Chains A and B, each alone.
Chain A
Amino acid sequence: MIAKVEGLTKTFGGVRAVDGVSFTLEDRKIYGLLGRNGAGKTTLMQLMTAQQFPTSGTVEVFGASPYENRRVLRQICFVKESQAYVRNARIRDVLEFSSLVFPRWDRRYAEELLDAFRLPKERKMKQLSRGMTSAVGIVVGLASRAPLTIFDEPYLGLDAASRGLFYDLLLKDYLEHPRTFVLSTHLIDEVNRLLEHILVIDRGRLILDDNADSVRGRAFSVSGPADRVASFVSGRTIVRDERLGSLRTAVIPETPDERARTRAAELGLELKPVPMQELIVHLTQPSPAEGGKRP
């Protein structure tokens, strides 16, 4: 266990940006910190890196509070979309700074990454486009080799190809030099397959903390002719129900077992898992009643 957060709360004015959050982070896992914009993800990460102070609750990273603790802080690299840079500094100055500040910094890897993202070393930070600035952040995060590396929506302004490049580079480095990554994003489907564990934040609260594969299997949809679907779903809980003409799709919040599969096949219905994005969106909707049938 490399991080432990307990009862963490942060209030701004009257608003609870982070509300009683508790979880742990293990070593060498890729975590997804998911949730809508404004759900409290960034604040949570700032609290974990001593960039914000908790209103109540505790944060422990690598065994101690990160506040003013160099031993802890130098093992964390937190890259965020709003990272400020000294405008007159050049890209190579930022890398030089990083090399002095992250004990495991890999110079050669950083150079390779600069090439991969086509970043000109001598360009000043103030002359960079938004996408290039994001790319610099990614280079810093990856080359830091920090045991806890956090990316907070690090791809603003990056086109789809560059984002894909980022995911590939991340996975590649994770396989060769495993460490803990936390990816915070609302682009769930893009990062979905990279994740081992999911944390979902909604309105400051942690509403899901589970292994990714378990979450992926947590609900299934059954579709086909409406009358057949009706007979399949009788007696079961449904969380979503859609009709199109004589076809109906119902979403059931369970893992489909052999019986369910056989029954579906007998009825000639199609059974599919529910994509992560949809699950999360459903979880973070303002819901009518809990787990009940939706009209």
Chain B
Amino acid sequence: MNPIRAMVRMHLIDGKPAFVIFWVLLMALYVLSFFLVRFADGSVQFSGPPAIYIFLLTLSIVSVRETLPFALGLGQRRTDFWLATVLYHAGAAAASAVLLTVLARLEPWILERTGLSVSFFAWQPLGGQPVHLEWLFHFGTIAVLMAGGFFVSAVYWRFGLYGLIGLGAAGIFAIVLLRLTGSSGALGELLNRLGAVTGTALVYLALLALFSALSFLLLRRVTVR
């Protein structure tokens, strides 16, 4: 008798095909990039992680699409659904981060063997970082993105298409405001003062908390036809 586990399982069943297809494609592209570099005599820098970020962001927006009406339809609590989704996202983020980190470590080895300049998974700023920090960075970025995706999804389920439009408008408005008042500069200063790692971590945590809380509040009033 464990509804949260049941919903996490459903999320996994829902997401599995997409995961598989994505990673197969990504790996195919990776292998392809070696051939391209060989013949075009150039180099590839860092395409893997952003692709995964975008994929997981999309997944987080879409993953609620089928599981939410199903779960609510069979009498599940919205709170339990929220928890299950958060767990699912966290798991996806953690696992993807592991994959990314491992692949980034493998790359230098491959580069030595083939002598080709393919830097698909490694990222310069992260270059010298210890393993756990690299993992943490990937995990954090993905987690924030997925929490954001969940939030967008929650807006849709609560307010429908108009809600999304409203959100989009609010987003544009906020960006314009930031630009005009130069507040984005303030963010950069904050990061400088706290140090890149701590600063990023704090920002990430704040965003995570914000998105998660908003998703929860929105979900509480969601109804499904």
**Chain A contacts to B: CB under 8 angstroms:** 46, 49-53, 68-70, 73-74, 76-78, 80, 82-89, 93, 96-98, 100-101, 103, 140
Out of A46, A97, A103, which one reaches B74, CB within 8 Å?
A97
Indicate if the CB atoms of B13 and A93 lie closer than 8 Å.
yes
Q: Please, what's the 1-or-0 string for B37-81, where 1 marks a CB less than 8 Å from any CB in chain A? A: 000000000000000000000000000001101101111111110
B binding-site residues for A, Cβ under 8 Å: 1-3, 5-7, 9-10, 13-14, 16-17, 66-67, 69-70, 72-80, 220-221, 223-225
Q: Is the CB of B76 within 8 A of A73?
A: yes
Interface pair B3/A84, CB less than 8 Å apart = no
How far is A83 from B2 in the complex, measured between Cα atoms in Å?
21
Q: Are A101 and B3 within 8 A (Cβ)? A: yes
- The answer to whether B17 and A88 touch across the interface, beta carbons within 8 angstroms, is yes
Assuming the contacts A86-B13, A93-B13, A101-B3, asked whether A70 and B77 have C-beta atoms less than 8 A apart, the reply is yes
Q: Are A83 and B73 in contact (CB under 8 A)?
A: yes
Name the residue in A77, A80, A86, A103 with the highest tally of chain B Cβ atoms < 10 Å from its Cβ. Answer: A86
CA distance A86 to B73 in the complex (A): 12
Docked CA distance A86–B14 (Å): 6
The answer to whether B13 touches A101 (Cβ under 8 A) is: no
Q: In the assembly, what is the distance between CA of A23 and CA of B156, in Å?
A: 35
Interface SS, B side: helix
When distances are taken between beta carbons in the complex, the residues of chain A under 8 Å from B74 are: 77-78, 83, 97-98, 101, 140
A89, B73: Cβ atoms under 8 Å?
Answer: no
- The interface residues of chain A lying within 8 Å CB-to-CB of B17 are 88
Is A86's CB under 8 angstroms from B67's CB? yes
Distance from A139 Cβ to chain B, minimum over Cβ atoms (Å):
13
| Cα A133 to Cα B161 with chains together (Å) | 28
CB-CB under 8 A for A77 and B3, given A84-B69, A86-B67, A96-B9: no
Out of A51, A84, A103, which one reaches B66, CB within 8 Å?
Answer: A84
- In the bound assembly, the distance between CA atoms of A217 and B17 in angstroms comes to 58
A77 and B75 form a contact (CB under 8 A):
yes
How distant is B12 from chain A, measured CB to nearest CB, in Å? 10
CB-based A-B contact count at 8 angstroms: 82
Which residues from chain A contact B9 at a C-beta distance below 8 Å?
Answer: 93, 96-97, 100
Note all chain A residues with C-beta closer than 8 A to B6.
96-97, 100-101
A48 to B69: give the CA distance in the assembly, Å.
17
- Compute how far the CA of A80 lies from the CA of B69 in the bound complex, rounded to whole angstroms: 12
| Contact present for A93 and B10 (CB under 8 Å) | yes
* Closest Cβ–Cβ distance, residue B62 to chain A (whole Å): 12
A93 and B67 CA atoms in complex are apart in Å by 13
A70–B66 touching, CB < 8 Å:
no
Q: Which of B16, B76, B79 has the most CB of A within 10 A?
A: B76
Complex Cα–Cα for A98 and B70 (A): 11
Contacts A/B (CB < 8 Å), 11 sampled: A51-B72, A51-B223, A53-B221, A74-B3, A74-B75, A76-B75, A78-B75, A83-B70, A93-B9, A97-B6, A100-B1
Bound-state CA distance A84–B73 (Å) is 7
Partner of B2, one of A68, A76, A89, A100: A100
Q: Are B225 and A70 in contact (CB under 8 A)?
A: no
Nearest CB to that of B221 among chain A residues? Answer: A53
CA distance A217 to B28 in the complex (A): 74
Closest Cβ–Cβ distance, residue B69 to chain A (whole Å): 4
| Chain B residues within an 8 Å CB radius of A88 | 13-14, 16-17
Cα distance A70–B16 in the bound complex, in angstroms: 28
In order of increasing CB-CB distance, the 10 nearest A-B pairs are A100-B6, A84-B69, A73-B75, A86-B66, A97-B6, A86-B14, A83-B73, A68-B77, A89-B13, A84-B70
The answer for the CA separation of A166 and B73 in the assembled complex, in Å, is 21
Q: CB-CB < 8 A to A77: which residues of B?
A: 74-75
In the assembled complex, the CB of B23 is this many whole angstroms from the nearest CB of chain A, namely: 17
Q: Are B66 and A87 in contact (CB under 8 A)?
A: yes
Determine if B72 and A86 form an interchain contact, defined as CB atoms under 8 angstroms apart. Answer: no
CB contact between B223 and one of A52, A70, A93, A98 (< 8 Å): that residue: A52
Query: Which residue on chain B has the smallest CB distance to residue A90?
Result: B13
Partner of B73, one of A53, A70, A80: A80
B10 touches which of A51, A52, A78, A97 (Cβ 8 Å): A97
Instruction: For B80, list chain A residues within 8 Å (CB).
Output: 70
Taking CB as reference atom, which chain A residue is nearest B15? A88
**Closest A residue by C-beta to B1:** A103
Tell me the smallest distance from the CB of A6 to a CB of chain B, in Å. Answer: 21
What's the nearest-Cβ distance from chain B to residue A79, in Å?
Answer: 9
List chain A residues, Cβ under 8 A from B221. 53
A83 to B74, CA, bound (A): 8
- Other than A51-B72, A84-B69, A96-B9, give 18 A-B pairs with Cβ distance below 8 A: A49-B75, A52-B223, A53-B221, A68-B77, A68-B78, A70-B80, A73-B75, A74-B1, A88-B17, A89-B14, A97-B7, A97-B9, A97-B74, A98-B74, A100-B1, A100-B2, A100-B5, A100-B6
